[in-house]
Amino acid sequence: MVVIKLEGGLGNQMFQYAFASILAKKNKSSIKIDKDFFDLTKKTQGFTPRNFELDIFDNSYLIASQSDIGSLTQLSFSNKIRRKLGIYESKIFYEPTFDFHPDALSIKAPVYVKGYFQSYKYLIGYEDLIRETFVFPIGTLNNTNKELLLHLKTKTTIAIHIRRGDYITNKLTQQFHGNCSLEYYLEAISLLTSRNKDFTLIFFSDDNIWVKEKFENLPYPKIFVDHNKNENSWKDMCLMSSCTHNIIANSSFSWWAAWLNGNPNKIVIAPKLWYAEVEKNTNDLIPPQWIRL
């Protein structure tokens, strides 16, 4: 049994579940989810309550009971003695840093796992497994999204994800993550438009008023997607993954949209700085074929 502690929004949950899926496959084991994080509903400075969102995918999820969690995280009397004797092997793995840790892929089940595991390197060799795990339920899209999806699949389109929201309004979140500058997006748009003809810019954001104000006068065909809110926000990820190319924010949400983009000739542009504090930035997050600006 692999028990994964889920935290954060949809993108983070996907990183965590992807890692657990790979670990479970290597161990020929089952996955159970610790969902306790989603019981926290009070918004505080630096913390935004989240909902369990992986149920948008057609997977069967086993929820870990308190007994399951306790069996891996609480030491029995005999295991306390083993630990004193130096012969006890912990059944808990906490990700030590944001970097890729190859030893993590050798963890033996049963184990309780906590971390974000935000690295493309964990997915190498398991791409098909993860793509099969995260299949969007296209059939549930409404007519507006289905019509847009058809346009995205038949035209040259550039998805541009601009995350503001708590990156702007929450002081602690802003200090930790920072947000991509207007200059970053303009440079990325300039690079991709110089390489493509007959394209359409598709803007996705949680702050469409700001986005329209800043980009509406660009001399290119463009669409502003502003109809997928709250529990329907996953539909933006689905639409972004169906575009020809991607310009992403420093957001796991748009990272997954770009990674799940099945276009073999896609160009993905990502920000050089993923976190506001330079020392927190990792080289293991962004695939080497993506362009960083």
Surface-to-core class of residue 288, CB atoms within 10 Å of its CB (0-12 exposed, 13-18 middle, 19+ buried): exposed
Summarize pLDDT for 88-102 with one digit per residue, the tens: 467 899 999 888 999
Q: Which amino acid is at 268?
A: V
CB contact at 8 A, 221 and 201:
yes
The Cα–Cα gap between 95 and 113 comes to 8
- Which band of pLDDT confidence, cut at 50, 70 and 90, is reported for residue 180? confident
| 167 pLDDT above the threshold of 80 | no
The Cα–Cα gap between 209 and 212 comes to 5
> 129 — alpha (psi -120 to 50), left (phi > 0) or beta?
alpha
- Which band of pLDDT confidence, cut at 50, 70 and 90, is reported for residue 278? low
Mean pLDDT of 14-24: 97
CB contact at 8 A, 198 and 156:
yes
Summarize pLDDT for 130-151 with one digit per residue, the tens: 999 999 999 999 999 999 999 9
Given this model, what pLDDT does residue 275 score?
A: 73
Summarize pLDDT for 207-252 with one digit per residue, the tens: 889 999 999 999 999 999 999 988 999 999 999 999 999 999 999 9
Can you state the angle between helices 234-241 and 10-27, rounded to 10 degrees? Answer: 70
The backbone torsions φ and ψ at residue 215, rounded to the nearest 5 degrees and listed phi first, read -120, -5
> 220 — alpha (psi -120 to 50), left (phi > 0) or beta?
beta
- Which band of pLDDT confidence, cut at 50, 70 and 90, is reported for residue 87? very low
**Which of 75, 73, 46, 56 shows the shortest CA–CA distance to 17?**
56
- Which band of pLDDT confidence, cut at 50, 70 and 90, is reported for residue 177? very low
Map residue 179 onto helix, strand or coil: coil
Give percent of the chain above pLDDT 70.
85
Summarize pLDDT for 69-85 with one digit per residue, the tens: 988 887 554 555 455 44
